[in-house]
Amino acid sequence: MGLAGTINGALRRVPAWPVYVLGMLPAPWFLYLGLTGGLGVEPIEALEHRLGVTALQFLVAGLAVTPLRRLTGINLIRYRRALGLVAFFHLSLHLATWLFLDLQSWQLIWADIVKRPYITVGMAGFVLLVPLALTSNSLSLRRLGPVRWRRLHRLTYPAVLLGAIHYVMLVKGWQIEPLVYLAAILALLSLRIRLPRRRVAV
């Protein structure tokens, strides 16, 4: 418990708010790049892509908190709410970019949601995360009670999985990067399936 204890001790003095501040920096940075030519010659697609991937990265980070504690003892649970909300922040902007910069037409948007499986999948993932973002405050936790709250927040698992599938589906051919995210997410989810059983064995 030496190294993990040292890390946990050092982290005790680090509040959660820097995670929000630093975590939300990518979005204005991408927007700045997009406005100044830093996102290449197709900035809308690039902005959409970068916001989506950043959201996925924070979701994966949030998913890694519990396995990290169980496997190494390092406890980042205090930052998990921030990780989830920062992910949701980028995801909302990803969606807004698609709605207001990419398609710009309600007709096209509705047709895409209904007819394009990868959009349907991505939208489903987003919709699942909305109640989680809304109940991420302490008041909701108290109102719902920890059992119901935790059960509700298990929606993260299908939501993150849908996000990764959305990424795999939208690219042309079988590209490596989206498959890496999918594999990482499946690994983090499978750890959750096995861990309770192990606890029973002990």
Partner 1 sequence: MAGRWRNTLNWSDVTPEAAYLSRRQIMAGAGALALGGLAGQARAAEGGLEPNTFEEITSYCNFYEFGTGKEDPKRNAGALTVDPWSVKIDGLVDKPGTYDLADILEGVSLEERIYRLRCVEAWSMVIPWVGFELADLLDRVGVQPGAKYVAFETLFRPEEMPGQRAPILDWPYVEGLRLDEAMHPLTIMATGLYGQDMPKQNGAPIRLVVPWKYGFKSIKSVVRISLTETEPPTTWNKASAREYGFYSNVNPQVDHPRWSQATERRIGAGLFSKRQPTLMFNGYDEVADLYAGMDLKKFF
Q: Which residues bind partner 1 (CB under 8 A)?
A: 34-35, 40-45, 47, 101-105, 108, 111-112, 115-118, 169-176
**Closest CB 20 distance from partner 1, rounded Å:** 26
**Closest CB 58 distance from partner 1, rounded Å:** 22
Nearer to partner 1, 43 or 125 (CB): 43
CB atoms within 10 A of CB 106: 9
Quote the Cα angle for 27-167-44, to 5°.
45
**Closest CB 165 distance from partner 1, rounded Å:** 13
**Closest CB 39 distance from partner 1, rounded Å:** 8
Nearer to partner 1, 33 or 130 (CB): 33
With 0-12 / 13-18 / 19 or more C-beta atoms within 10 angstroms meaning exposed / middle / buried, residue 50 is buried
128 Cβ contact partners less than 8 Å away, ≥ 6 residues apart: 155, 158, 159, 162
- Please choose, from the candidates 62, 19, 20, the residue with its C-alpha nearest in 3D space to the C-alpha of residue 157: 62
Nearer to partner 1, 34 or 62 (CB): 34
